[in-house]
Amino acid sequence: MSNRLFGTDGIRGRVNEFPITAEVALRAGKAVAQVLRAASPDGNRVIVGKDTRLSGDMLEAALTAGLVSMGMDVYLADPMPTPAVALLTREMEAAAGIVLTASHNPFEDNGLKIFGPDGYKLNDELEALIERHILGEETEAPVIAPAGIGRIHRVDNAAERFAQSAKQAAGFPSLNGLKVVIDCGNGAAWRIAPQLFRDLGAEVIATGVDPDGLNINAECGALYPQKAGELVREHGADLGVSFDGDADRVIFTDAEGLVISGDCILGLAAIALKEQGKLREQTLVCTVMSNLGLHEAMKRHGIAVEVTAVGDRHVLERIREKGCSFGGENSGHLIFADHATTGDGILSALLVLRMMREKGASLRELASVVEEYPSRLVNLPVREKPPIASLPKLTALMAEADAAFDSNGRQLIRYSGTEKKIRIMVEHRDAAEVDRWIGKFSEVIREEIG
């Protein structure tokens, strides 16, 4: 299936370069209208949100023009977390929800994430159809008569609706007595998250709450949880919570300011849900990137593990397919499927804090259930992305590593779905072996790809 525009998480790229241009955004608006209104004939409403990137206004204007030209009514939610747009799409019975964001990428990038009327990301078939329309490979829809052009509205209470929904889903946990560092990454959560935690009684030290269009994810947020860790130590806080640019994922730091990996959070949450009788099928869904230590911890607690390809969409598809209730990625996507249709950093943070309160334990104590193998992930820029199977030296080295590792480790090498990068991940019981094999793989990749 062609995937020239859509990657692992929507359409993404550098602004003012194909496909992240005003022209493509205009065509995307027309394509979404044509495809998703056809799937929902009575629906002519689309929710549009964005994060805090400078390019958001430009792309929003073009996307909105495309939508209204096809007779769709557009409801603008302004800077808003991705899960908030998914929620509004369902609650307002819209035909689609679209978020202009490049998630954790720097401000120079942007993208489009598209949700269907059920609040879930689109499947491959619908993405491919929208793509063909954008690229002019499908028949254009008839021109809309002047009286049929859509209107533009604003969702004035979007933040309040999302905050109330998150509190309710988490059971209105009392955070009284907790001191929490909240790092919003100068992204979409910058207004909502600090106030929400204060409303529930926490003392909040907020950072990453001064977006200027250029500083989203810039040495802050989920990619730089060490910043929250420094503030935790400085203020004597109980933990740190760091969101990425569109707040669909979260990374935690403990009371000592040390980063807790996403796999440890997946493990402690799965165990807590099982104890509460809320882990359907007694199964955790995670991706191939999750540490072998997580698998061993789940086995000790009688929890099965389903493994998917990288991407929270793949995790959610498996959750729905198997009737499970929880899963996520080591990168910080946590999907509590009983409450949300996508990764939701803010809701996930509330639920984890509630687990801490209910167990009367620190985050570090809860996370100790997972003992991770030494692991290292390296991202190397590449000029092009030829199929890995077509690289004889690399594939031979991968086979050599598999034989050498046996059950003591593993390697995973794949291209980024959104950037011109190749990702090298090595895990092993022996940290020295991790570094040695990372070096060998990096050398061969530079030789074969550049």
Question: Closest by alpha carbon to 103, among 166, 24, 188?
Answer: 188
Q: pLDDT, tens digit, for every residue of 131-176?
A: 999 999 999 888 999 999 999 999 999 999 999 999 999 999 999 9
Residues of the chain with CATH 3.30.310.50: 375-448
Residue partners of 404: CB distance under 8 A and separation at least 6: none
Residue partners of 328: CB distance under 8 A and separation at least 6: 262, 265, 266, 285, 286, 312, 315, 334, 335, 343
Q: pLDDT, tens digit, for every residue of 342-393?
A: 999 999 999 999 999 999 999 999 999 999 999 999 999 998 999 999 999 9
Contact 67, 33 (CB under 8 A): yes
Give me the pLDDT at residue 407, please.
85
At the top level of CATH, which class does the domain 375-448 belong to?
alpha beta
Q: What is the mean pLDDT of residues 174-188?
A: 98
Contact 89, 248 (CB under 8 A): no
d(CA 257, CA 260): 9
Residue type, 7: G
CATH of domain 6-157: 3.40.120.10
Residues of the chain with CATH 3.40.120.10: 6-157, 176-259, 261-367
List residues bridging with 99 in a β-sheet.
49, 113
Q: How many CB atoms lie within 10 A of CB 317?
A: 18
At the top level of CATH, which class does the domain 261-367 belong to?
alpha beta
Contact 366, 356 (CB under 8 A): yes
Question: Closest by alpha carbon to 348, among 248, 237, 203, 227?
Answer: 248
40 part of the active site: no
Q: pLDDT, tens digit, for every residue of 396-436?
A: 999 999 999 988 999 999 998 777 899 999 999 999 999 99
Higher pLDDT, 43 or 390: 390
Reported confidence tier of residue 39, pLDDT bands at 50, 70, 90: low
d(CA 357, CA 73): 44
Give me the pLDDT at residue 7, please.
86
Per DSSP, the three-state class of 201 is: coil
Residue type, 279: L
At the top level of CATH, which class does the domain 176-259 belong to?
alpha beta
Question: Closest by alpha carbon to 341, among 7, 102, 87, 94?
Answer: 87
| Cα torsion through 119, 50, 199, 366, rounded to 10 | 70
d(CA 224, CA 396): 35
Q: pLDDT, tens digit, for every residue of 305-343?
A: 999 998 899 999 999 999 999 999 999 999 999 999 999
Kindly calculate the radius of gyration of the chain based on its CA atoms and give it in whole angstroms.
Answer: 22
Question: Closest by alpha carbon to 413, among 374, 377, 370, 439?
Answer: 377
Contact 328, 335 (CB under 8 A): yes
Catalytic residue of the set 40, 55, 69, 103: 103
